[in-house]
């Protein structure tokens, strides 16, 4: 099931019974996610466990949710954001779908370490962060969930 379908199902079932979402474009999918963040932020709670993945320049900060034996999902945030952007959505999808979600703060965002002065941040920097996290977690197969810039991976 795609994350958009999961969001739609969870939002309909858990929080707002009159919400109808169909035939969403990528743009309107982002809008739906933003609606979830603004309107459904009190729809339950799922406490995340903070973890730090070591890097040569410090660490990548992450929040881990759900059943460690559930289906692994890596959550990637958008521009000028952090892993907390997924907190309103996670309670809506995690339990019924038996998910193990790890949301990351990419390098230089949220609680993650910044690169040293003079180090170059490229389009591929986030891919390196993702690889470091999945290797640390020993995940060989996993799903991705992202919004804004994070949906491009």
Catalytic residues: 148
Ramachandran bin of 124, using left for φ above 0, alpha for ψ from -120 to 50, beta for the remaining angles: alpha
* Residue position matching structure tokens 């892993």: 83
Least Cα distance to 85 among 131, 47, 34, 32 occurs for: 34
Tens of each residue's pLDDT in the chain, 153 residues: 444 444 444 444 433 333 333 434 444 444 455 554 444 444 444 689 999 999 999 999 999 999 999 999 999 998 778 899 899 999 999 988 999 999 999 999 999 999 999 999 888 899 999 999 999 999 999 999 988 776 665
* Residue-wise DSSP of 87-144: TTTHHHHTTTTTEEEEEE--TTSTTSPPPPTTPPP-TTHHHHHHHHHHHHHT-SS-EE
pLDDT at residue 123 in the model: 80
Rounded Cα gap, residues 67 and 129, in angstroms: 23
pLDDT at residue 121 in the model: 87
pLDDT at residue 5 in the model: 45
Q: If one looks up domain 45-152 in CATH, what number appears?
A: 3.40.50.1820
């Amino acid at each position: 099931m795609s994350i958009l379908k999961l969001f739609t199902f969870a939002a309909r079932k858990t929080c707002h019974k009159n919400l109808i979402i169909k035939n969403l474009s990528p743009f309107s999918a982002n809008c739906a996610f933003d609606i979830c963040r603004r309107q459904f932020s009190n729809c339950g709670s799922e406490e995340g466990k903070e973890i730090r993945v070591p890097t040569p320049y410090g660490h990548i900060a992450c929040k881990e949710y759900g059943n460690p034996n559930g289906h692994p999902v890596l959550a990637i945030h958008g521009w000028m954001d952090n892993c907390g952007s997924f907190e309103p959505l996670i309670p809506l999808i995690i339990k019924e779908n038996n998910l193990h979600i790890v949301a990351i703060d990419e390098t230089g965002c949220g609680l993650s370490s910044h690169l040293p002065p003079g180090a170059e941040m490229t389009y591929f920097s986030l891919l390196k962060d993702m690889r470091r996290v999945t290797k640390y977690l020993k995940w060989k197969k996993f799903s991705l969930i992202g919004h804004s810039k994070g949906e491009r991976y």
